[in-house]
Amino acid sequence: MRYNYRYRLNPTDELHEQLAWTVDTCRQVYNHFLHRLNRENGTSAYSEQSVLPDLKNWWTDLNQVHSKVLQKVVQRLYDNRSTLKGRKDNGYRVGELKWKAPKEYRSITYSQTGFELNNTSGRTVLSLSKIGDIPIVYHRDVPDDATIKEVVVKQEPTGEWFAVLGIETEGDAPPKPKKLEDCVGIDVGILKYAHDTDGTAVERPDLSDERERLEREQRKLSHKDHGSANYRKQQRVVAKRHADLKRKRRDFLHKLSNHYAREYDLVAVEDLDVKGLMELPSNSRNRAGAAWGTFLRMLEYKCEREGTHFVAVDPAGTTKECAACGVETDKPLWVREHSCPSCGFTADRDWNAAYNILVRGLKQVGTGCPESTSSESLCDSDGLRKSHCDFRTPAETALPTETTSVPAKRVVETGSPTLKERTASAVSE
């Protein structure tokens, strides 16, 4: 299996200048081959890489850059062109590849050779050919059976340098269990970030302090003269505030996804259209901050690593459908309790959705899944605990109980005093 391990680099001033010079030289090489690509037809990454030895004869500075790094620059250009062509074939309106400005090109890649991890005088350093030995914050060991295939060195907008080690292990991922014992369905949201079928409701991380600091620094940036030294200095401060926000969010997502991947045999989630959700007219800031797409990607690859079944199901109707009898009931977003007008089953809205997600996931995997027809059988099926179910007074409805779908205005949602007047008018219809 292949993994990416990310480490912080602490280069000296001299090494910092050498890294910055190497990155900028690679940027110029990228622009040079983009110019050739625009003038000549029928070129490929392989044919252009063969031009590099002759190019070094008159562009002597390239002799100070490792050959594999230069080859990856050319490969990067043609990968970008392939991606652009793929989006165009899929119906997207795309432009053309543009030259890279200094702030738009921040990384270099060593492939196969030119790098090595060494222990020098009690500290770990990353030895890069043509650059030198760079001290590295070696916060976790590379597995003994792993081979480092690639090293990407990148400078963040904050000015910090990082190295991403692409490693490959000899063993395959552990086999996924055929007999499923511990299964969980997860419903993600904004008020509760994740609500699962075990009754665990995970609050979303509190990032208000980080966001306030970011907004404060952005206001300071707007008062600076654009392009001045103070403006560039404040830009770096704003980038650091963005990095703090991103690190805290990703730390939360890594820990949460690790928990589900390691504790269960099967994890069922919604196959969310995150891009479509972001295009909705309201509350887009909270949806963007939730980073559901990032969480699902983390959960997927960690389930693969741990040998856990990962199932993404169609989210349509998971909130409306009753987990006990299957009757669909429309509920506005502010109603946080599910009350079935057909069978009288009541439960937390998110738990009801999580259970429906789990049932769909089990069906998709092909294992036996609970076929619940009442609230009592729901609590006894496939290891679901009785504490999950919350029996309360059945909701009233103006429609026959045999109906398969009930609109929200026809249902009396219990436990909300603010709905009494609206409820009375609905029942009287």
Tell me 144's DSSP state: T
According to the per-residue pLDDT averaged within each range, which of 73-87, 300-314, 378-392, 397-411 is highest?
73-87
pLDDT tens, 186-199? 988 877 888 888 88
Residue type present at position 94: V
Mean pLDDT of 170-174: 78
pLDDT tens, 32-43? 999 999 998 888
More reliable by pLDDT, 98 or 389: 98
Residue with tokens 């219990």: 414
Q: Is the pLDDT of residue 93 over 50?
A: yes
Query: CB under 8 Å to 124, separation ≥6 — which residues?
Result: 117, 118, 135, 136, 138
pLDDT of the residue at 343: 80
- The neighbour count for residue 247, using CB atoms within 10 Å, is 11
pLDDT of the residue at 367: 58
pLDDT tens, 106-144? 999 999 899 999 988 788 999 999 999 999 999 999 888
Q: Do residues 325 and 373 touch, judged by C-beta distance below 8 A?
A: yes
pLDDT of the residue at 408: 35
At 323, the pLDDT band (50, 70, 90 cuts) reads: confident
pLDDT tens, 341-373? 778 788 888 888 889 999 989 988 875 444 432
pLDDT of the residue at 344: 77
**Poorest-pLDDT segment among 59-73, 85-99, 382-396:** 382-396
**Poorest-pLDDT segment among 128-137, 216-225, 386-395:** 386-395
At 101, the pLDDT band (50, 70, 90 cuts) reads: very high
pLDDT of the residue at 203: 87
Q: Say what the pTM is.
A: 0.76
Query: CB under 8 Å to 379, separation ≥6 — which residues?
Result: 385, 386, 388, 389
Chain length of the chain: 429
Mean pLDDT of 88-92: 89
pLDDT of the residue at 421: 46
Q: Is the pLDDT of residue 271 over 60?
A: yes
Q: Do residues 257 and 295 touch, judged by C-beta distance below 8 A?
A: yes
Structural tokens at position 79: 């990968």
Contacts by residues 292-296 (CB-CB < 8 Å, ≥ 24 positions apart) = 292/188, 294/250, 294/253, 295/188, 295/253, 295/256, 295/257, 296/269, 296/272
**Cβ-count burial 257-278 (b if 16+ within 10 Å, e if not):** beebbeebbbbbbbeeebeeee
Q: Is the pLDDT of residue 85 over 60?
A: yes
At 391, the pLDDT band (50, 70, 90 cuts) reads: very low
Query: CB under 8 Å to 283, separation ≥6 — which residues?
Result: 190
DSSP string computed for 129-143: TTTEEEEEE--SPPP
Query: 345 φ, ψ to 5°?
Result: -70, 130
Q: Is the pLDDT of residue 20 over 80?
A: yes
pLDDT tens, 286-301? 777 788 888 899 999 9
